[in-house]
Amino acid sequence: MSVVRSKICGITRLEDGLAAVAAGADAIGLVFYAPSPRAVTIEQAQAIVAGLPPFVTTVGLFVDMPPREIEAVLAAIPLDLLQFHGDESPADCEALRRPYIKALRVRAGDDVVAQVAAYPGARAVLLDTFVDGVPGGTGQAFDWSLVPAQLSKPVILAGGLTPGNVAAAIAQVRPYAVDVSGGVEASKGIKDAAKVKDFVRAVRGVGESM
């Protein structure tokens, strides 16, 4: 049996974080990127993280944020993992000396193997949909056949996943984990607890059959 992990990203309310945990999600994501409709303030994030039970990984998402600003977030919030979703170089990601994952936006013609190899310090890579000028959260899926069968890092699959298509995505890509935001929302930034539950159930179901 191969366990596929699940992360519910774009949490803006404690009740949504608790719903994700109750559904069985392994991680929640907090967006520290002001242009995003799912962005949280330090105060919001503090309240969410403080209210979570143990053994849930908290992930902070950053997009080309200056190191001093990231350090201010880390001083206020005990995040477990950093997710870099912009054009951060390997040196940028390593500079904070925290466990991190690097998001890569996939499009036809990209050398995904080389892109992944460029971040040897990453704990994993998150593969998302490429939309010009948009760092993520597009709600659009990409062609999963573009994901190489063997990569040097664990793969977290993102981009347009929903309770209805995540099983097919896992069966094709066989990722370490999947990441969802818009696909389980009632509105931008507000999660639908039933959709979250259906998503995690679908992830666990296909993982058990692999």
Which residues span the domain enclosing 93? Answer: 5-206
Structural contact between residues 150 and 122, judged by C-beta atoms closer than 8 angstroms: no
Q: How confident is the model over 142-170, as pLDDT tens digits? A: 888 889 888 889 999 999 999 999 999 99
Structural contact between residues 7 and 183, judged by C-beta atoms closer than 8 angstroms: no
Tell me, yes or no, if 128 is annotated catalytic: yes
The whole model's pTM is what? 0.93
Tell me, yes or no, if 93 is annotated catalytic: no
Helices (H), 141-192: 166-173
Rounded Cα distance between 158 and 165, Å, is: 12
Look up the CATH number of the domain holding residue 180. 3.20.20.70
Domains held by the chain: number: 1
Q: Which residue has the higher pLDDT, 77 or 144?
A: 77
Identified catalytic residue from 9, 16, 26, 179 = 9
φ, ψ dihedrals at 209, nearest 5°: -90, -5
Q: Which residue has the higher pLDDT, 207 or 103?
A: 103
Rounded Cα distance between 114 and 90, Å, is: 13
Identified catalytic residue from 16, 26, 92, 128 = 128
Tokens of 149: 């069968």
Rounded Cα distance between 62 and 59, Å, is: 10
Q: What is the DSSP letter of 3?
A: P
Q: How confident is the model over 89-144, as pLDDT tens digits? A: 999 999 999 999 999 999 888 898 999 999 999 999 999 986 665 555 566 788 88
